[in-house]
Amino acid sequence: MRDARRTDLILLLVAIVWGSSYLSAKTATAALPVLVVLFARYAISAIACLALVASGGASRRWTREEFRVGALLGVTQAAVLVLETYGVAHTSAANAGLIISLTIVLTPLLDRTGGGGRLPLTFFAAAGLCVLAVGFLLSGTGLHSVRTGDLLMLAAALVRAGHVALVGRLSVSRTLRPLHLTTVQTLVGSVLFMAPAAAHLGTLAHSTAGTWAQLVYLALFCGLFAFLSQTWAVQRTSASRASLLLGTEPVWAVAVGIGLGGERLTVLSALGATLMVAGTYWGQAIERAHRTGPERDSAVPLTAGTLPRAHHDGAAAEPVHSQHGPPIAPPGHAPTRT
Each residue's pLDDT tens digit, 106-163: 888 887 655 566 788 888 888 888 888 888 887 765 544 678 998 999 999 999 989 8
Residue 79 lies in a domain: yes
Residue 307 lies in a domain: no
Highest mean pLDDT among 41-50, 221-230, 239-248 belongs to 41-50
Residue 286 lies in a domain: yes
- What is residue 23's predicted lDDT score, i.e. its pLDDT? 94
Neighbours of 198 (CB within 10 A): 12
- What is residue 331's predicted lDDT score, i.e. its pLDDT? 34
Identify the residue with better confidence: 117 or 268.
268
Q: In b/e form, how buried is each residue of 85-107, taking b as 16+ CB within 10 angstroms?
A: bbbbbbbbbbbbbbbbbbbbbbb
Residue 182 lies in a domain: yes
Q: How confident is the model at residue 330 (pLDDT cuts 50, 70, 90)?
A: very low
Query: Does residue 59 surpass a pLDDT of 90?
Result: no
Residue 312 lies in a domain: no
- What is residue 239's predicted lDDT score, i.e. its pLDDT? 63
Q: How confident is the model at residue 311 (pLDDT cuts 50, 70, 90)?
A: very low
Residue 171 lies in a domain: yes
- What is residue 321's predicted lDDT score, i.e. its pLDDT? 38
Among 31, 36, 25, 29, smallest CA distance to 200 is for 36
Residue 324 lies in a domain: no
- What is residue 217's predicted lDDT score, i.e. its pLDDT? 96
The pTM (predicted TM-score) of the whole model is 0.80
Distance CA 321, CA 26 (A): 18
- What is residue 166's predicted lDDT score, i.e. its pLDDT? 87
- What is residue 56's predicted lDDT score, i.e. its pLDDT? 75
- What is residue 184's predicted lDDT score, i.e. its pLDDT? 93
Residue 316 lies in a domain: no
Query: Does residue 337 surpass a pLDDT of 90?
Result: no
Query: Does residue 175 surpass a pLDDT of 50?
Result: yes
Q: How confident is the model at residue 332 (pLDDT cuts 50, 70, 90)?
A: very low
**What dihedral do alpha carbons 231, 224, 325, 183 form, nearest 10°?**
-100
Q: Where are the alpha helices (DSSP H) in the chain?
A: 2-31, 34-54, 64-89, 93-99, 103-110, 121-138, 148-171, 178-198, 201-205, 209-216, 226-234, 239-246, 249-259, 267-292
In the chain, the number of structural domains is: 1
Task: Report yes or no: 336 and 104 within 8 Å, Cβ to Cβ.
Answer: yes
What is the average pLDDT value for the chain, to the nearest integer? 80
Query: Does residue 323 surpass a pLDDT of 50?
Result: no
| Half-sphere exposure at residue 147, Cβ-oriented, CA atoms within 13 angstroms | 21
Among 326, 332, 104, smallest CA distance to 239 is for 332
Distance CA 123, CA 104 (A): 11
Among 11, 24, 20, 7, smallest CA distance to 251 is for 20
The domain in which residue 215 lies consists of: 2-295
Among 246, 305, 292, smallest CA distance to 18 is for 246
